[in-house]
């Protein structure tokens, strides 16, 4: 715990910096009045900003160079201006727009030109709206704005996708269209080889986007024996480098002692801007509304990208996640099975043992190579690997205790179990992609490829059904340490 926190603080100290290059100013009409909510956009950088109610705007972290800026507002003619940015320079520039007769308003949007690693799901190099499958893409910006910290919180934005179970808050298992436990991938590779089991955990700090392939078309990924499921597939895509400097450091505080500092830094490494890095991570510590339940989490996501030539790009990614938490048994029904008599268990009563703990360690690695043969053909190669290690030990509640021929519903047999799992999944992908290749009057977009997947897992478990008897009404439920 102390070593991880010290490492985290060192990272924050090493990568904190101030980046001040950018522009700011005011957008006005011909009378000099500010134009509210006008937009300023640099198309080549895909960067922009919206003015406030008075027409003031600001864009930061603009790399050095000559850039064209587009200024737009409804009811005004679009204006294009050139700006020159030097390193660590903050420019002040104002723009004036001319009134224009409003004839037609067209509203459209496309959050991503092409979501990263979408081919791991679709197998075709098409935009989501061009696919035959039903695909939803949850952007990292939406996840950040909604403050989502779990898969279930992020995917609530997708119709038909819901949480199947959390298994005492140990892991998440998702369902879709009535099918239990759909596969959850990370960067296109399985984390848990048996997705119908107890699901996975991950951290949202390193998530660039979440792709959800829904409906019967998802069986094209294979049913049960591979990635597919009639209900759908969820792919979690981690962040990759950017070729301009930026980053952020933040801390989140919540109820029950939650403390969550995070960081994210990125930028080019060399002057020619052919190599870029990204490093983000998080540390989280907190307790629960129930006494005796706590959690601790450490997450690190480094990546490196090299534009080796104009036509070849190599990307290296790594994602490490370590989560330790107390599984919560919750409460019990103090009536017969067909009677709803759920006991309102006081917050200071924990029905497990002192040393109950669920530990999840997951690391994923990726090497991707993209090479353009010409304007129409490209080659893609990738190697993905995921290592998952689970170590669970905790109590379980058994049958109601019978005394003098009667069932005493507040008395329960308490058991104990320990289990471990090692799950290693890897995949090699090779693809030839044709984009708008013409044969006479026909235009083709195609993908021809091969995947080679391997899975290696081992499990161990041991359990005892009747360790002791507890009274759920008793404030002292013998929170002893149990060993098997």
Which of the 8 DSSP states describes residue 142? Answer: H
CATH number of 246-471: 2.40.170.20
Q: Is the dihedral of CA 72, 145, 206, 226 positive or negative?
A: negative
Question: For the domain 119-238, what is the CATH superfamily, name and number?
Answer: TonB-dependent receptor, plug domain (2.170.130.10)
Q: What is the pLDDT of residue 17?
A: 40
Beta bridge partners of 179: 176
**Cα–Cα distance, 467 to 329 (Å, whole number):** 16
Please name the residues in contact with 472: beta carbons below 8 A apart, sequence gap of 6 or more.
Answer: 331, 332, 334, 343, 345, 349, 351, 410, 411, 412
The domain ranges of the chain are: 18-96, 119-238, 246-471
**CATH of 18-96 among 2.60.40.1120, 2.60.40.10, 3.40.50.1000, 3.90.1150.10:** 2.60.40.1120
The Cβ-side half-sphere exposure at 193, using a 13 Å CA radius, reads 21
Is there a contact between 466 and 398 (Cβ–Cβ < 8 Å)?
Answer: yes
Residue 389: C-alpha distances to residues 55, 170, 462 (Å): 53, 13, 17
**Cα–Cα distance, 316 to 431 (Å, whole number):** 18
First to last CA, the chain: 26
- Name the pTM for this structure: 0.71
Closest CA to 213 of 125, 150, 144, 123: 123
Which of the 8 DSSP states describes residue 62? Answer: P
Question: Hey, is 341 helix, strand or coil?
Answer: coil
Each residue of 119-151: pLDDT tens digit?
A: 766 666 676 666 666 788 888 888 888 888 888
Q: Is the dihedral of CA 168, 169, 175, 180 positive or negative?
A: negative
Beta bridge partners of 282: 262, 299
Is there a contact between 61 and 88 (Cβ–Cβ < 8 Å)?
Answer: no
Q: What is the pLDDT of residue 295?
A: 92
DSSP codes joined into one string, 158-226: STTEEEEE-TTTT-BEEEETTBSS--EEETTEESSS-TTSS-B---GGGEEEEEEEESGGGGGG-BSSS
**Cα–Cα distance, 195 to 174 (Å, whole number):** 9
pLDDT tens-place values along the chain, 484 residues long: 545 545 444 444 444 444 457 888 999 988 888 999 899 998 888 888 888 888 999 888 888 888 899 999 888 888 998 888 887 778 888 999 988 765 555 554 555 566 777 776 666 667 666 666 678 888 888 888 888 888 888 888 888 888 888 887 888 888 777 777 788 888 877 777 765 656 788 899 989 989 888 766 555 554 444 555 667 788 888 899 999 999 999 999 989 999 999 999 999 999 888 999 999 999 999 999 888 899 999 999 999 999 999 999 999 999 999 999 999 888 888 888 778 888 888 888 888 888 899 999 999 999 999 999 988 889 988 898 999 999 999 898 888 888 888 888 889 899 999 999 999 988 888 889 888 888 888 888 888 888 888 889 899 999 988 888 888 888 765 555 555 5
């Amino acid at each position: 715990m102390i070593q991880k926190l010290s490492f985290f603080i060192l990272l924050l100290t090493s990568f904190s910096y101030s980046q001040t290059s950018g522009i700011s100013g005011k957008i006005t009409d011909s009378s000099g009045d500010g134009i509210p909510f006008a937009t300023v956009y640099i198309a080549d950088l895909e960067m922009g900003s919206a003015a406030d109610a008075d027409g003031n705007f600001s864009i930061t972290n603009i790399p050095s160079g000559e850039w064209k800026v587009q200024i737009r507002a409804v009811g005004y003619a679009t204006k294009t201006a050139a700006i020159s940015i030097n390193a660590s320079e903050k420019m002040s520039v104002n723009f004036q727009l001319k009134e224009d007769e409003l004839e037609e308003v067209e509203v459209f949007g496309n959050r991503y030109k092409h979501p990263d690693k979408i081919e791991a799901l679709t197998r075709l190099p098409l935009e989501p709206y061009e696919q035959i499958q039903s695909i939803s893409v949850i952007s990292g910006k939406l996840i950040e704005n909604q403050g989502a910290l779990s898969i279930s919180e992020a995917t609530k934005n997708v119709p038909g996708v819901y949480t199947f179970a959390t298994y005492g808050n140990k892991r998440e298992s998702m369902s879709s269209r009535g099918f239990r436990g759909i596969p959850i991938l990370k960067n296109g590779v399985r984390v848990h080889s048996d997705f119908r089991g107890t699901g996975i955990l991950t951290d949202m700090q390193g998530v660039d986007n979440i792709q959800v392939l829904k409906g019967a078309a998802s069986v094209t990924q294979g049913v049960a024996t591979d990635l597919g499921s009639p209900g759908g597939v969820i792919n979690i895509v981690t962040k990759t480098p950017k070729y301009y400097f930026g980053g952020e450091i933040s801390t989140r505080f919540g109820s029950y002692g939650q403390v969550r500092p995070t960081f994210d830094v990125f930028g080019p490494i060399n002057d020619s801007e052919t190599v870029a890095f990204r490093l983000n991570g998080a540390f989280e510590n907190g307790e629960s509304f129930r006494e005796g339940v706590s959690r601790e989490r450490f997450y690190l996501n480094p990546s490196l990208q090299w534009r080796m030539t104009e036509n070849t790009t190599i990307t290296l990614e790594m994602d490490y996640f370590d989560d330790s938490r107390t599984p919560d048994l919750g409460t019990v029904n103090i009536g017969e099975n067909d009677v709803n008599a759920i006991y309102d268990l006081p917050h200071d009563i924990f029905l497990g043992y002192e040393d109950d703990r669920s530990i999840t360690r997951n690391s994923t690695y990726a090497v991707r190579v993209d090479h353009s043969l010409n304007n129409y053909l490209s080659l893609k190669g990738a190697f993905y690997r995921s290592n998952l290690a689970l170590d669970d030990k905790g109590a379980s509640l058994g049958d109601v205790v019978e005394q003098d021929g009667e069932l005493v519903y507040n008395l329960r047999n308490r058991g104990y179990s320990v289990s471990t799992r090692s799950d290693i999944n890897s995949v090699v992908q090779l693809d030839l992609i044709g984009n708008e290749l013409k044969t006479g009057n026909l235009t083709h977009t195609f993908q021809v490829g091969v995947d080679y997947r391997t899975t290696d897992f081992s499990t161990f478990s041991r359990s005892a059904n009747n360790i002791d008897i507890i009274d759920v009404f008793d404030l002292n439920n013998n929170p002893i340490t149990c060993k098997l």
